[in-house]
Structure 1
Amino acid sequence: MAVTEAERALEAAYRTEKRRVLATLIRLLGGFDAAEEALHEAFAAAAQRWPREGVPQNPYAWLVSAGRFRTIDRWRRETRHAAALPDLLALAEPFDEPAMPEAIADDELRLIFTCCHPALPPDQRIALTLREVGGLTTEEIARAYFATPPTIAQRIVRAKARIRDEAIPYEVPGRADLVERLESVLRVIYLVFSEGYAATGGPALTRADLCAEAIRLARLVAELTGEAEARGLLALMLINEARRPSRTDAAGDLVLLEAQDRTLWNRAMIAEAGEMIGSAFARRGVGPYTLQAAIAAMHAEAPDFAGTDWQAIVSLYDVLLRVDPSPVAALNRAAAIGMRDGPQAGLAAVDAVAAGGGLEAYHLSHAARADFLRRLGRTVEARTAYRKALALVRQDAERRFLERRLSALEDQ
């Protein structure tokens, strides 16, 4: 096998299997630190052996076995683990990739519920799960939370220590405890998908691997719990994923909703999501994710951008803001008002939201204001707003889009 072929296979395994391998190693080795070290050793071994021996038929099982056995060998050599030899012998039993006929058997699902244990503060739960399950870097998590990387790193370290010190079990909770942890679990899955759908930084606007992983995990949670909001979150992600291929052009540049090729949208995903949303509304099981899914469905089901029912979208945002108020939802409502009532009304709505605080460091707030100013012909003010947005944006495709808008205004 050519080295380049092995390298491509290793890169693909790292991209698609890393999170599942880590989750299984945590279960097998009993802790985050040991599993993370085993993960690095497994990929190091693969980098050495795959070019010589060929890529294994099941990279996931190979990596799990390599990481586990290297860890066991190291523990055996360390005298401080001498008392654990019986346990090590049990760990050394031959490993077969587990059959997973039910959602509850999924290692990543177990890991999510462990990371979202109520003994952990909410900020630690989300940071830890995004890092360990979502595979996001501390920098990516920090940008998503408007925090510094050292702050996020500290949250992750503290969360791991608490799981270890309090012996929090690596398991999906029983029914009695499930609902208590579901909100954090759904929030984490939502944030993993959001990073895939609109990356906070880097060269690509979207990350298909994160979107696919979040949808897979959302399906597992929805099947396990049967909760309406779990299905609402899945519906929201399916609609957004259905539209993702049209969000960038061949050069990787951002394409706004009004200019997207709707023939590229996955209508099967949209239809599946629509059934889930209808079921939730019929059962009156409507929460923030279901409401966001309903808003996304209004966009997806419109025949074209001009045919969008902006009145219905504004009304749904009104309900969302009562159920789950947030500055970002208020900003989205303001943008919808602008589409319904014109740029002057939209600008007034955006300014009212900005006056409430919480969005000064959010580049899309300044971009929305800039767009309404541009449409009103207030060129000087629009340039200023675009420059503010550019100073805050971290994503390359979004930066290029804002630069093009600014450049067009500077030519006027």
Structure 2
Amino acid sequence: MEINNFNLYKKEWKVESETIIKPGLEAIQKALAKLGNPQKKHRIIHIAGTNGKGSTIAFLSAIAKEHGLAYGSFTSPSIIDVHDQIQVNGVPVTPEQMDLAFQKMFQAGLSGMLTDFELLTVVAFLVLEEETLDVVFIEAGMGGRFDSTNVIDRSVAVIPSISIDHTNFLGNTVEKISWHKAGILKDNSKLVIGALSFEAKKIVLEEAIQKNSIVIEYNKAFSIGGHTYTYEETQFHHLYPQMLGEHQLSNMSLAITALLESSFSLKECHVQAAVKKAYLPGRMEKMSEHVYFDGAHNKASIDALVDTIKEQFPNKRIHFIVGILKDKDYLYMLRKLEEVASSFEFVDFHHERALSASILYKHCSHSAKSVTKDVGEINLEENSRIDITIVTGSLYFISEIKDKNR
């Protein structure tokens, strides 16, 4: 999958990379060594998992900002283009910063060594190396153990959730996928986990034993109850995140715990202010009074979306605008959305793995449904006459709609 506007820099600096996915660390480790290992400069919190990674980083960033910490982040995928994937203090990387990183990679002879995502990971470490930062938040692209971000010597690791996704690369069982996610845990370090299933937690705990590391578990070591966060002697009261859904309370707690375990002193008033401001594009993102974007794209995230709708919008008419990638379990996604839908609009969008809207239309059992052949034809304001409109199915789909409606 092409990273939006990334090829402009590759072409300008004559640095080639492959668009395919090649799990493994040998190539990127060699590339980083040629650059002096920029990934070793900063204190890092590394996040992997099926869902909740982006939300957890949003909470981490908001809390860091409220405490006056200097922070950087590397996340996936892009919302608009490649620049928003690498940020310093919440500000997307500039073309000048990208150029400097590409200049270094060109001079080091990296052309042809890496895949696109590996190359972008190197760019992120080079950009962040230039900054004086208190902490860096790194999101694994896919899996964890063989993901190109897993080149960090030491970090506090976070796994918000584990469920079935990316089965062609990670395996088709929770146990196999958990083995990949647990691979971000480093020797003699700490891992903060959300409410994992028994099968997933068993694999994670086995990894921790092998690496002589500590697992800090949500609802066991730390918890959130009655809007109060508790971890050992620490309590923060009156925490009201603006991000909708019960699952966001867990993600918020993971972020607080990861920062505490990274030896940061947090103040209750700053944590309270931060969680009210924490915001993530494409996750129940309020676009107008009646329109929300949510990039739910697998079983767990669709379940969370439907639960949030039931919780936040009881007795409301819900119109879904849907675009899904063909490697997702679209039948499950449709059945879940049908539980709360009053109508559907299925859309063709411009992604190499996009599922045809006509296939979604055919398999949808709801009577009120339609097909739109091009993203550019969607009129979000027209849809706002319905009680609630939710655009969902894929973050890539949401990114394209945003681009067309700017």
The TM-score, its normalising length taken from structure 2, stands at 0.34
Which is richer in strand?
2
The structure with the largest alpha-carbon Rg is: 1
**Which has the higher relative contact order, 1 or 2, with Cα contacts under 8 A spaced 6 or more apart?**
2
The TM-score, its normalising length taken from structure 1, stands at 0.34
Which is richer in helix?
1
